[in-house]
Structure 1
Amino acid sequence: MQSLPKTLAEDVAKNLVMVARLIDEDPEGAYGYSKVALRLASRVAAVREAAGFAAYANQKYGEALAEFRAARRMTGSVDLWPVMADCERGLGRPEKALDMAGAPEVHKLDKAGQVEMRLVAAGARRDMGQMDAAIVTLQSPELASNSVQPWTARLRYAYADALLAAGREREAREWFAKAVEADRDGSTDASDRLAELDGVEFVDALSEDTEDAEDGTDTAGESADAAPEDGDKD
């Protein structure tokens, strides 16, 4: 944004900060701020990229793809290739996503980008009902490695989920457990999926207490009407 006047650059930056801050918790809010940034500086690659992610978070895949393409034209970077392919999936074009997974651009991605592309390709296979192919797509040195990287939990989770969809429950449980081991920041619900496979049910104690109160029952299980009458007192 160095090409922008100082005041304008500050205004754009404030909107981009809000996009980043809200995109997970309030995607619609983030989308609104991205539109303001676009109106102020549509020729800035960072703005087009942020607008793409905001649209993507709101499942506006056509709009997101257009913004990502614009950002890529401005920078020449291939970093957005996997999310662009996932937009094709969102638009109901898994075949196009698979074509992108086999394109030369993939070889220019860093390791994280290549893993992300593998996840997108496996998702495209599942979209097409090719469960076995999805499983094979995810099988890789990164999946087999014992080292925990930023992508490890999501890769193991996707593999477990594909196995479960293919009816291979025992193997799925094993890989959900491995995903839990790698998921240090809770980025997946692998622990819930593992518990579900193990038949574990979680009970909300607070909810039960509320229901008991509504039924006129105290926490000791006695009715509120069970207090002794005055005539029963000593």
Structure 2
Amino acid sequence: MADCERGLGRPERALELSRAPEASELDTDARVELRIVAAGARRDMGNPEAALVELQVPELKERRARPWAARLFYAYADVLDELGRDKDAREYFARASAVDREGQTDADERLAELEGIELVAVDDDVVWADAEDAEADPRA
């Protein structure tokens, strides 16, 4: 419901729903997703600092690949990037990439962009190439 309200251009209503008593009864997957939606609503309202706070949940410290981890790490990294905190953004894009086994995010590409390199497909594999030397053979 909160995501729908946000999609309809009502971020304030999305935030109200994210704070409803029923929200505390959600399982971890749904609770994390609701935090991501609330953070997006804060960003929609022009407040990325508040969005970052929305995402500072205990699950952010998780080190294992959980179903929700890639999306949470990615959302956090995206806000950090918006705030110009490149070093922290790199860390969380890397964490998202490490646990994103299903390709839910483009964390690899975002991390590569922050590092100044590009991902290049070579014979069904993806390799890192120096973006400044795109003409060079990335396998060399």
- Give the TM interval when normalised to the shorter protein: 0.7 to 0.9
Count of residue pairs brought into register by the alignment: 123
Report the identity percentage.
59
Question: Superposed, which structure 2 residues align to 1:120-135 within 5 Å?
Answer: 120-135=37-52
1:204–1:151 distance in 2 versus 1, CA, 3 Å: closer
Letter paired with 1:162: V
Deviation at residue 203 of structure 1 after TM alignment: 5.1
Deviation at residue 147 of structure 1 after TM alignment: 2.5
Question: Superposed, which structure 2 residues align to 1:160-175 within 5 Å?
Answer: 160-175=77-92
Deviation at residue 102 of structure 1 after TM alignment: 0.5
Taking structure 1 as the reference length, the TM-score comes to 0.50
Provide the residue aligned with 1:136 in structure 2.
53
Deviation at residue 187 of structure 1 after TM alignment: 1.2
The one of the two structures with greater contact order (alpha-carbon pairs below 8 A, sep at least 6) is: 2
Q: Are 2:105 and 1:192 equivalent residues in the alignment?
A: no
Deviation at residue 156 of structure 1 after TM alignment: 0.1
Question: Superposed, which structure 2 residues align to 1:203-214 within 5 Å?
Answer: none
Kindly indicate whether the alpha-carbon contact (under 8 Å) linking 2:36 and 2:75 is maintained by their aligned counterparts in 1.
Answer: yes
Q: Within 2, Cα distance between the matches of 1:205 and 1:98?
A: 44
Q: CA RMSD in A?
A: 1.5
Q: Within 2, Cα distance between the matches of 1:185 and 1:113?
A: 18
Provide the residue aligned with 1:155 in structure 2.
72
Provide the residue aligned with 2:32 in structure 1.
115
Q: Within 2, Cα distance between the matches of 1:201 and 1:190?
A: 12
More strand by share: 2
Provide the residue aligned with 1:97 in structure 2.
14
Question: Superposed, which structure 2 residues align to 1:1-234 within 5 Å?
Answer: 84-202=1-119
Kindly indicate whether the alpha-carbon contact (under 8 Å) linking 2:18 and 2:35 is maintained by their aligned counterparts in 1.
Answer: yes
Larger radius of gyration: 1
Alignment gaps of 5+ in structure 2: 124-140
Q: Within 2, Cα distance between the matches of 1:144 and 1:123?
A: 20
Taking structure 2 as the reference length, the TM-score comes to 0.83
Letter paired with 1:98: L
Kindly indicate whether the alpha-carbon contact (under 8 Å) linking 2:2 and 2:18 is maintained by their aligned counterparts in 1.
Answer: yes
Deviation at residue 124 of structure 1 after TM alignment: 0.4
Deviation at residue 174 of structure 1 after TM alignment: 0.8
Kindly indicate whether the alpha-carbon contact (under 8 Å) linking 2:109 and 2:119 is maintained by their aligned counterparts in 1.
Answer: no
Alignment gaps of 5+ in structure 1: 1-83, 207-234
Q: Within 1, Cα distance between the matches of 2:119 and 2:72?
A: 26
1:203–1:115 distance in 2 versus 1, CA, 3 Å: closer
